[in-house]
Amino acid sequence: MVKMTDLPTKGGFSFDLCTRNQMLLDKGVQMPPFRKTGTTIVGLVFQDGVVLGADTRATEGPIVADKNCEKIHFMAPNIYCCGAGTAADTEAVTDMVSSQLQLHRYATGRESRVVTALTLLKSHLFSYQGHVSAALVLGGVDVTGPHLQTVYPHGSTDTLPFATMGSGSLAAMSVFESKYREGLTREEGIELVAEAICAGIFNDLGSGSNVDVCVITKGQTEYLRNYQLPNPRTYISSKGYSFVKGQTVFLEQLLLLVSKLVHVEAIFQLRVDEWQYRINWGLVPCLC
Active site residues: 39
Give the H or E element holding residue 122.
helix 114-127
Q: Which stretch binds another protein (CB under 8 A): 40-48, 67-75, 126-134, 244-252?
A: 126-134
Sign of the torsion formed by the C-alpha atoms of 226, 176, 125 and 134: positive
Number of residues that bind another protein (CB under 8 A): 37
- Residue numbers 47-106 binding another protein by CB under 8 A: 61-62
Sign of the Cα pseudo-torsion (224, 228, 234, 240, in order): positive
Handedness of CA 233, 176, 132, 225 (dihedral sign): negative
Q: Is 25 in the site for another protein (CB under 8 A)?
A: yes
Report the residue from 68, 99, 108, 123 that binds another protein according to the rule CB under 8 A: 123
Q: Give the integer Cα–Cα distance in Å for 142 and 71.
A: 22
Q: Determine if 230 is a binding residue for another protein (CB under 8 A).
A: no
Say if CB 126 and CB 155 are below 8 A apart. Answer: yes
Question: What is d(CA 35, CA 61) in angstroms, rounded to the nearest whole number?
Answer: 7
Query: For another protein, which is the closer residue by CB, 34 or 223?
Result: 34
Q: d(Cα 60, Cα 120) in Å, to the nearest integer?
A: 28
108 touches another protein (CB under 8 A): no
Interface with another protein (CB under 8 A), residue from 40, 94, 167, 209: 167
Residue 27 interacts with another protein (CB under 8 A)?
no
Interaction of residue 21 with another protein, rule CB under 8 A = yes
Stretch that binds another protein, among 43-51, 73-81, 101-109, 121-129 (CB under 8 A): 121-129
Does 115 engage in binding with another protein (CB under 8 A)? no
Our finding on whether 178 is near another protein (CB under 8 A) is: no
For position 130 contacting another protein by CB under 8 A, the verdict is yes
Contact status: 276 vs another protein (CB under 8 A)? no
Q: How far apart are CA 93 and CA 153, in angstroms?
A: 11
139 contributes a contact to another protein by CB under 8 A: no
- The total number of residues shown for the chain amounts to 288
- Stretch (H or E) spanning 275: helix 266-280
**Rounded to whole angstroms, how far apart are CA atoms 47 and 55?**
24
Centre a 10 Å sphere on the Cβ of residue 77 and count the other Cβ atoms it contains. 16
Looking at the Cβ atoms of 205 and 284, the one nearer to another protein is 205
Q: Which stretch binds another protein (CB under 8 A): 10-18, 195-203, 245-253, 271-279?
A: 10-18
| Of residues 61 and 219, the one with the C-beta less far from another protein | 61
Q: Which is nearer to another protein, 151 or 215 (CB)?
A: 151
The full 3-state SS of 144-206, as one line of letters, equals CEEEEEEECCCCCEEECCEEEECCCHHHHHHHHHHHCCCCCCHHHHHHHHHHHHHHHHHHCCC
Nearer to another protein, 205 or 283 (CB): 205
- What span, in angstroms and rounded, lies between the C-alpha atoms of 131 and 127? 9
122 is an interface residue for another protein by CB under 8 A: yes
Q: Which positions lie near another protein, rule CB under 8 A?
A: 10-12, 15, 18-19, 21-22, 25, 31, 33-34, 38, 61-62, 122-123, 125-127, 129-130, 133, 150, 152-158, 160, 167, 169-170, 205-206
